[in-house]
Chains A and B, each alone.
Chain A
């Protein structure tokens, strides 16, 4: 890619960034409108929407990140985007990637959450087209986000010659190793609570399990503190409305955990704890399982295909080992799981 082509692509992104910045600004008319509309479509509480816009919408990516995004994105005649629901801020990155690929971008928003794409377009008129159906042709590229089931459906319906970049289901984990002072631990768990609470845990980056190399007593104390942090955060950022299915999954998880594990009530959610061996994948809605294990990195190996992100706190050498063990997952700090560098798709797994 020569400098001219780079600058052309770079210029296509700026209106989108400007639109995002105005949405993040709670004092602007667009920012207020976004908060009202997204609270309805997302099911999050108004505070949850504001929290997500403030913490996760990338309003000032660095030039290095933007350069990485542009240089890692292949060009296309037409770039198509199929957005998923739940994590509404993801529309921004998805559309930015498509704009880096082509001057002609067609976006189909989720039927359950159509607002964010419309809001972005309103602030960047003409930057892309919103369409009801995507109809890519040979030579086009499609970036699709959603469940594995949706990705499989998309793959079977595409005409030959269309390149598909599919980003399916996944989940995040957190690893806590090494020794930390009480205040450091408090900060780490507070940051992790934010990672959990954002989007009420409905995104593929949301952590569902925390692995710790700790004695049972220490792990119990840690789980209890994490529950306290989640409850405290919920007072500031209440959980939104869950579906009947989500509520029933939580009830099943709660009672199974009461029988099989230790349970710590965490506001509306739960922190569950077990030691080595079996654990239970918590449902969405601000629930997390704490698993003690002598070798957290080894314990993660089996879940590698599903892991999108991994928050880590511990020795640098272990962080490097984690990167090697999970090449498809984004390794980041506690509190950074939902605001990863704006350097391309958040999901780097080979699907």
Chain B
């Protein structure tokens, strides 16, 4: 069987798995994808070389996120890319790239879990983004996902989402009037308003509002994602959530955090949105990120990369079945702890205290011009 035929077969199997088909288990699929990648990704083959076998999910080595900045992480050649997502860059400005040959899997998985986590009811939603206009072709996986949600959640078929009414950040800042108009539109049409936002956009909104409030319909859902990346002042997550809830006049439970990475195909969400399928199933708490059935976060010891006992803090190795053609396991530097219902994120692994005059790697990255 050719590479692409095997890839297509694995993609189909993962999509079936996502719809509840358990003909193949998570482990079977993860190991099958890992074997496939070992055969067609020389980098992954080198990474596997020191592992005795790939007999269980915990044997699959995680590809460090830095690898996406330094090398092509894909089993297929560039000419077969149908989507390329770029990381927003570290402080160095270096950007990683996640190439996709098959987009259907990404779309199906993102929509499946997104609907489960964000839809407060079965009705149509009006979706706007506190984000800059989507570029063409889309280079941001987050922007692409936001555009997908706009079309899918509206439930009226395909339409052009590249309008200023949908993307409420531009060079002048946050379009507060645009958000107010979106709220009116949702109320007028009996739709639920869904606001998709980055954390730093929400801080920008709070700064723009000052002491004012911007009441939104009571059933509005806000999805927040991402860190601050030095773009704005930082606010503790709980404080940001409370401030946004206050400004919009909505319950804090309706503000749901998403965890995603360009290097992944799938996303994690807090299972808190009242009325959502995910909240019914998991009854989650804020701060606890639920994994979709096709993704597992394994907290591992940062010095041995061995899984840590449940409840202990490790760095997150993420096994994402959606990453059929890139890296089925990603090794992040995010500190995580497994709790009932999912994963708690504890931020990046802290740097050691400055050690004399030797240059720390992060410092080097910060200096390196691109």
Contacts and interface: CB of A to CB of B under 8 A. Distances in A.
Interface in A303-320: 303, 305-306
Contacts of B67: 255-256, 259-260
Interface in B334-370: 349, 351-352, 354-361, 363-365, 367-369
Interface in B62-90: 62-64, 66-67, 69-71, 73
B233 interface: no
A246 B352 contact: yes
B333 A252 contact: yes
Contacts of B302: 244, 247-248, 251-252
B357 A249 contact: no
B43 interface: yes
Given A251-B303, A278-B70, A256 B359 contact: no
Given A259-B44, A260-B67, A283 B361 contact: yes
Interface stretch (A46-54, A162-170, A223-231): A162-170
A189 B303 CA distance: 29
A302 B73 CA distance: 27
Contacts of B49: 258
A203 B61 contact: no
Interface string B147-188: 000000000000000000000000000000000000000000
Nearest to B44: A259
Contacts of B63: 255, 259
Contacts of B71: 259-261, 278
Contacts of A259: 43-44, 46-47, 63-64, 67, 70-71, 73
Given A259-B63, A259-B71, A259-B73, A169 B303 contact: no
Given A248-B302, A259-B73, A86 B364 contact: no
Interface residues of A, number: 50
Nearest to B41: A259
Nearest to B301: A248
Contacts of A59: none
Interface residues of B, number: 40
B199 interface: no
A150 B355 CA distance: 10
A243 interface: yes
Contacts of A255: 47, 61-64, 67, 305, 331
Contacts of A201: 358
Contacts of A326: none
A149 interface: yes
A150 B356 CA distance: 9
A259 B173 CA distance: 40
B364 A147 contact: no
A236 interface: no
Contacts, number: 132
B303 A248 contact: yes
A302 B368 contact: yes
Nearest to A308: B357
A258 B46 contact: yes
B278 to A, nearest CB: 32
B303 A146 contact: no
A244 B305 CA distance: 12
Contacts of B66: 252, 256, 260, 280
A334 interface: no
Interface in A177-222: 201-204, 206, 208
A168 B315 CA distance: 30
A170 B69 CA distance: 23
A194 B251 CA distance: 63
Interface string B299-340: 000111100000000010000000000000001010000000
Interface string A311-351: 00000000000000000000000000000000000010000
B70 A280 contact: yes
A239 to B, nearest CB: 15
A259 B63 CA distance: 7
A86 B357 contact: yes
A208 B359 CA distance: 10
B313 to A, nearest CB: 12
A309 to B, nearest CB: 12
Contact of B359 (A84, A169, A258): A169
A347 B369 CA distance: 22
Interface in A238-275: 243-249, 251-253, 255-256, 258-261, 263
Contacts of A150: 354
A119 to B, nearest CB: 18
Nearest to B43: A259
Given A246-B352, A260-B70, A202 B358 contact: yes
Interface of A: 84-87, 110, 145-150, 167-171, 201-204, 206, 208, 243-249, 251-253, 255-256, 258-261, 263, 278-281, 283-284, 302-303, 305-306, 347
7 contacts: A147-B360, A245-B349, A248-B349, A255-B67, A256-B66, A259-B71, A259-B73
5 A-B pairs with least C-beta separation: A147-B354, A86-B356, A248-B302, A245-B352, A204-B357
Given A171-B359, A255-B331, A306-B359, 19 more contacts: A146-B356, A147-B356, A147-B360, A171-B358, A203-B358, A252-B331, A252-B333, A255-B63, A255-B67, A258-B47, A259-B47, A261-B70, A278-B69, A279-B70, A280-B66, A281-B364, A284-B355, A284-B358, A303-B368
